[in-house]
Amino acid sequence: MTRRHLLPLVTGAGALAAGFVLLGLGLALAGYDAPLAMSALWRGAFGSWDAFISATLVRAIPLICIGLGLAIAFRAGALNIGGEGQFLVAAIAATWVGLQVGGWPAPLAVTAVLAAAMLAGALWIAFPVLLKLKFGVLEVISTLLLNFVGEALVSYAVTGPLQEARHVYPASDPISVAARLPVFGGSRLHWGVVLAGIIATLLWLGFTRTAWGFRLRAVGLGSRAAATSGRIPVRRVLGSALLWSGALAGLAGGLEVSGVTYNLYQNLSPGYGFTAIAVALLARLHPFGVLATGVFFGALEAGAQGMQRDAGVPAVTVSVVEATVILIVLLVEARARSGWRFRPATELAP
């Protein structure tokens, strides 16, 4: 194993260790029973086969899908910080389609739900793409702002057009049985996990073996140089990278409705769109790396629920670990100056 491969592993492990030490210290300082909380976190994520399959892996699926999408965009130097909004809007679309397809054969119904979700995710980011290419608006800010619009839309949907029949709860009716993804016997793990693996493999092939992957990297490494070469349509590469990242975040929203919740409600996402940034960065934008870091952060989310249940520590606390991991990875990357670095594509060819 060369140094090039070793550094990210050491960094990642170190960052995670630091995050956990910080979490433990913070919990102790805030007056919680830190050992109890940490062991509850562990049990919630890895305590049993069922905890791993039904909690950790189930939460890893959306993180992996969004993270893979972010890997596409980040590779091109396009910073999509709107995964949360794309996820939520896609969940609305998935729920709506899932309510309509009652009589359909199951494979067709599920496909329709997931396709609608991907389309919705792509459409939600199409607006920032348009603003970027037509008006030069930084996609960072536009995608961020649309997260809040997406939240408002979910809130409207579950109290308005998609509210359950009795109009009591801010939630939709369950989608029809045909539109639900099958689960692996006895667990809560749905077939989305296979889909996530397939997409990761396809992306790995795409990144390493195709001209598309090369163009992404070229634009990400220097959009002006790429444009000057005359052989790379920078605007199209950037636009399509963002659209795909939106579509994959959308797929995550579709899988969540079709495989886990079966309906739409507020707070459907515990911040998957933001956690996925840590997932993609820690994996250094490598698709198989995203599978690993996605499972890890899925474990963190699952453990957070366990921590809240058994030790009374608010689940939101784990986002401190996520933030620490991102910051340390950034620090080490910046210090090492080796391998991949961010060069946001702000210079666009006219």
Using rule CB under 8 A, residue 327 touches other proteins: yes
Q: Which string of DSSP letters, residue by residue, matches 156-217? A: HHHHTTTB-TTS-SSBBPPPPGGGSPPB-TTSS-BTHHHHHHHHHHHHHHHHHHSHHHHHHH
- Using the rule CB under 8 A, is 96 a contact of other proteins? no
d(CA 141, CA 218) in angstroms, rounded, equals: 24
CA distance 68 to 74: 10
Residue 301 binding other proteins, by CB under 8 A:
no
Q: Does 80 bind other proteins (CB under 8 A)?
A: no
User: Using the rule CB under 8 A, which residue among 107, 136, 186, 350 binds other proteins?
Assistant: 136
Please state at what angle helix 318-336 crosses helix 272-282, rounded to 10 degrees: 30
Q: Residue type for 94, please?
A: A
Residue 350 binds other proteins, judged by CB under 8 A: no
* Min CB(237)–other proteins separation in Å: 20
CA distance 132 to 254: 26
Residue 322 binds other proteins (CB under 8 A): yes
CA 244 to the chain's CA centroid: 13
Nearer to other proteins, 83 or 192 (CB): 83
Q: Kindly write out the interface string for residues 243-282 of this chain, putting x where it contacts other proteins by CB under 8 A and - elsewhere.
A: ----------------------------x--x--xx--x-
Is 333 one of the binding residues for other proteins (CB under 8 A)? yes
Q: Does 73 help bind other proteins (rule: CB under 8 A)?
A: no
Please return the burial class of 182, using the count of CB atoms within 10 Å of its CB with bins 0-12, 13-18 and 19+.
exposed
Report the distance separating Cα 310 and Cα 39, nearest Å.
Answer: 9
Q: Based on the shown chain and the rule CB under 8 A, indicate whether residue 340 belongs to the binding site for other proteins.
A: no
317 binds other proteins (CB under 8 A): yes
Six token digits for residue 36: 């109890």
Residues that bind other proteins (CB under 8 A): 26, 30-32, 79, 81, 127, 131, 134-138, 140-142, 144-149, 152-153, 155-156, 159-160, 271, 274, 277-278, 281, 313-314, 316-320, 322-324, 326-327, 330-331, 333-335, 341-342, 344, 346
